[in-house]
Amino acid sequence: MKAAYIEQTGPPDVIRYGDLPKPEPAKGQVLVKVGAVAVNPVDTYIRNGANYWPLPKPFIIGCDVAGVVELVGAGVTRLKPGMRVWATNQGLMGRQGTFAEFCAIDECWLYETPEGVSDEEAAACSLTGVTAHLGLFRAAGLKSGESLMVNGGSGGVGSMVVQMAKAAGARVLATAGSDEKCAACQQLGAEVAVNYKTADVAQAVKSFAPQGVNVYWETTREPDFDRIVSFLGERGRIVLMAGREARPPFPVGPFYVKECSLHGVVMFKASAEEMRRSGDDMNRWFRAGKLKANISRVLPLSAAAEAHRLQEANTLQKAGTLAGKIVLKP
Ligand SMILES: NC(=O)c1ccc[n+]([C@@H]2O[C@H](COP(=O)([O-])OP(=O)(O)OC[C@H]3O[C@@H](n4cnc5c(N)ncnc54)[C@H](OP(=O)(O)O)[C@@H]3O)[C@@H](O)[C@H]2O)c1
């Protein structure tokens, strides 16, 4: 089968596109014929040598996938050949990735794709959607009627946060780096969208939630806690998911006096059971038309190296040239 893989870590040029043996589903595994995969920033960190865990050799890159069940291994009961499925959390914790014509995936990570949702859409929402769900509901306990601010509402995770918060009955303020991206946030359900490059964000937050927001979601890697804590209301919750190297100052007094709390989220540390709850809610929202993919580019799988360059330019160099996910098709 064709696959995008690496034999050593390094810059995007280390990605090879070529033939690897088609995997066989082991006990408890499902062989998926891949329809679409999506790129996430973590794919680029791993390819670049982040060394979070030992990688299989060769290592097929990628975490997200959607496609059709081709074959099932012994002991698989829930899924049958021909069923449409999606998954995330592959290519992580030593597992093989998804950027190939076929992947063998443990049944526990697979969710049925609802009718009317394409493979491109399902793949584009998978890692970002599960992350947003875990952060909003398991970590921050967002409730209907609460207010939420997401700093970076047009990106991969940000666009999921906007839609899920809205679906759960919260009011949403999102920031984005252009007027077009602000308009996109409003289309996804943000009540207010603020261009962080040109507008007074603090003033907008004050008008949106005069008592401060209940939940603040940071998508950037450099949180400014003085600013964030000033935006929070009493018992406000902050969700962090990025910035391993960040060591910013922290306003201890203002934070604890308002009885705020801080929640870190790492998608791949969630159990299969926790992720299934995210997958079930996402499927419910897909069916209800409340969750839509935010796709910026669709490329052939053979362009995996180009896709990594584009993701890296945006995540690390903040090129601002992406307004959503990069999806690839074998
Ligand atoms: N912990 C986890 O489980 C987990 C899961 C997924 C992702 N992540 C991490 O989370 C980060 C975001 O991931 P992603 O997939 O959403 O990336 P992404 O699609 O590249 O989105 C990045 C977002 O950051 C925004 N942004 C950049 N500079 C900003 C600024 N100065 N002020 C406000 N917003 C700004 C961008 O907005 P504009 O384009 O509008 O400028 C964009 O919405 C990455 O570092 C990734 O590694 C962690």
For the chain, the distance separating the N- and C-terminal CA atoms, rounded to the nearest angstrom, is 10
Residue 41 Cα: closest atom of ligand 1? 47
Please give the distance, rounded to the nearest whole angstrom, from the Cα atom of residue 60 to the centre of ligand 1.
24
CA gap 178, 161 in Å, rounded: 18
Render each residue's pLDDT in the chain as its tens digit; 330 residues: 999 999 999 999 999 999 999 999 999 999 999 999 999 999 999 999 999 999 999 999 999 999 999 999 999 999 999 999 999 999 999 999 999 999 999 999 999 999 999 999 999 999 999 999 999 999 999 999 999 999 999 999 999 999 999 999 999 999 999 999 999 999 999 999 999 999 999 999 999 999 999 999 999 999 999 999 999 999 999 999 999 999 999 999 999 999 999 999 999 999 999 999 999 999 999 999 999 999 999 999 999 999 999 999 998 888 988 888 999 999
**What pLDDT is attached to residue 111?**
98
Helix axes 156-167, 272-287, angle to 10 degrees: 70
Among candidate residues 178, 227, 225, 229, the one with its CA nearest the CA of residue 199 = 178
CA gap 80, 78 in Å, rounded: 7
Residue having the nearest C-alpha atom to atom 24 of ligand 1: 152
- Concatenated DSSP letters for 147-177? EEEEESTTSHHHHHHHHHHHHTT-EEEEEES
Residue 320 Cα: closest atom of ligand 1? 39
Q: Could you count the other beta carbons within 10 Å of the beta carbon of residue 98?
A: 32
The set of protein residues with a Cβ atom below 6 angstroms from ligand 1 is 40-42, 128, 131, 151-152, 154-158, 175-177, 181, 196, 219-221, 241-242, 265-267, 314-315, 318, 320
Please give the distance, rounded to the nearest whole angstrom, from the Cα atom of residue 2 to the centre of ligand 1.
30
Q: Which residues contact 128 (CB under 8 A, 6 or more apart)?
A: 40, 156, 157, 159, 160, 325
Please give the distance, rounded to the nearest whole angstrom, from the Cα atom of residue 154 to the centre of ligand 1.
9
pTM of the model: 0.98
Please give the distance, rounded to the nearest whole angstrom, from the Cα atom of residue 47 to the centre of ligand 1.
18
Residue having the nearest C-alpha atom to atom 9 of ligand 1: 242
CA gap 64, 98 in Å, rounded: 6
**What pLDDT is attached to residue 28?**
98
Is 59 in contact with 97 (CB distance < 8 Å)? yes
**What pLDDT is attached to residue 316?**
86
Residue 322 Cα: closest atom of ligand 1? 39
Please give the distance, rounded to the nearest whole angstrom, from the Cα atom of residue 175 to the centre of ligand 1.
11
> How does DSSP classify residue 138?
I
Please give the distance, rounded to the nearest whole angstrom, from the Cα atom of residue 20 to the centre of ligand 1.
33
**What pLDDT is attached to residue 171?**
98
CA gap 154, 292 in Å, rounded: 12
Mutate to test the pocket of ligand 1, among 134, 157, 216 (most ligand atoms within 8 A of CB): 157
